[in-house]
Structure 1
Amino acid sequence: MNNMTTEKLIRYSKVILMAYISFFGLLVITHNFSDYNSNYEYVAHILSMDTTTANENILYRAIDSPYLHHRIYWFIITMEVTYTVLCLMGTYHLYRKVNDSADAFHEAKKFSIMGILVAIFIYYVCLQTVGVEWFDMDTSQSWNAKDWARHIVDFIFPVMIYITLKVER
């Protein structure tokens, strides 16, 4: 522990936080592949708007096609795999450069930043923005992922800020 400087601890904390996000991604994609139907059902209900209290003026937004439900769910799964792979690569690159120069460590952040941006796209843009604002997901008592997605964004967005800060010397 005598060799552990604050600068090195900051670098390792960035590696560890990326590992946490990567681990979460691995759990999410494992769940999607091992229990496809439970999350498919979620997506289908949100897109169908069949459990919302939406008024007649916005029900034209509903997508009732199971074919499209599956395609949209596969798009989400693909994005989740993409962010997980990018975050894993980011974790690896950060770890590899943890003892290098500040510039080399900073350049190693690219995959981490890309992975987090894809995750924010899924959980903020797709779920919180499109799901809530377009498909009125937040009015569903049983198929509402708004708070779940918000908790994820509430963790990963500050991590992205922390990762991108160049405080290493």
Structure 2
Amino acid sequence: MRISNTDQLIRYSKVCLMAYISFFGLLVMYGNLTDYSANYEYVGHILSMDTTQINENIRYRAIESPMMHHRIYWFIITTEAIYTAYCLLGTYYLYRKINESAAAFHEAKRYSIIGLLIAIFTYYVCLQSIGVEWFDMDTSQVWNAKDWARHIVDFMLPVLIFITLKNER
């Protein structure tokens, strides 16, 4: 790795950030697959709303079917696997084009952008929006992933913006 100027450093920083997110995705996938029951329990409590503040006006939203809990959890695991695969591909293509023209490097961002959008969908739409706003997850004292998901989005959204910027020459 020979960084000769700031433009080259910017390219390497984009590759590194995508590698960090890919690594995070691999850890999350590994955890969900090797300790399925722990996170399944988490999803089950959120969906059944059994640990949230009792608000009879929204209790109709609860999903109490274990079969649905498994299906929704597998949907989340699947989106995590897909975003991780895209981020890994994005890292690979960015690295492969690191010494190419600005246009070639910019086009290599495609998989990274797709992966980051899917990751933001998973953590912002699924956990932040649906978990908090629909299933009232933020009122649970024990089963609350609001802050965890927010921290992930707080990292991934600026990375998405940085990756998409066309500041390489």
What is the TM-score normalised by the length of structure 2?
0.98
Deviations 1:33-87 (CA, angstroms, capped at 9, x unpaired): 1000000000000000000004100000000000000000000000000000000
CA contact (8 A) 1:54 1:139 kept: no
Q: Name the counterpart of 1:49.
A: 49
Quick check: 1:143 aligned with 2:143?
Answer: yes
For structure 1, which segment, 3-12 or 43-52, has the greater mean C-alpha deviation from structure 2 after superposition? 3-12
Distance in 2 of aligned mates of 1:142 and 1:56: 20
CA contact (8 A) 1:52 1:139 kept: yes
Runs of 4+ in 1 over 3 A off after TM superposition: none
CA contact (8 A) 1:54 1:136 kept: no
Deviations 1:73-105 (CA, angstroms, capped at 9, x unpaired): 000000000000000000000000000000000
- Matched residue type, 1:95: Y
Distance in 2 of aligned mates of 1:47 and 1:3: 49
Distance in 1 of aligned mates of 2:159 and 2:109: 12
Deviations 1:116-144 (CA, angstroms, capped at 9, x unpaired): 00000000000000000000000000000
Aligned residue for 2:138, secondary structure, equals helix
CA contact (8 A) 2:3 2:9 kept: no
What is the TM-score normalised by the length of structure 1?
0.98
CA contact (8 A) 2:47 2:64 kept: yes
- Matched residue type, 2:76: I
Q: Name the counterpart of 1:125.
A: 125
Where do residues 1-169 of structure 1 align in structure 2 (5 Å cutoff)? 3-169=3-169
Distance in 2 of aligned mates of 1:112 and 1:44: 31
Q: Shift of the alpha carbon at 1:2? A: 7.4
Aligned residue for 1:26, secondary structure, equals helix
> What is the RMSD computed on CA atoms of the aligned residues?
1.0
- Matched residue type, 1:15: V
Runs (5+) with no aligned partner, structure 1: none
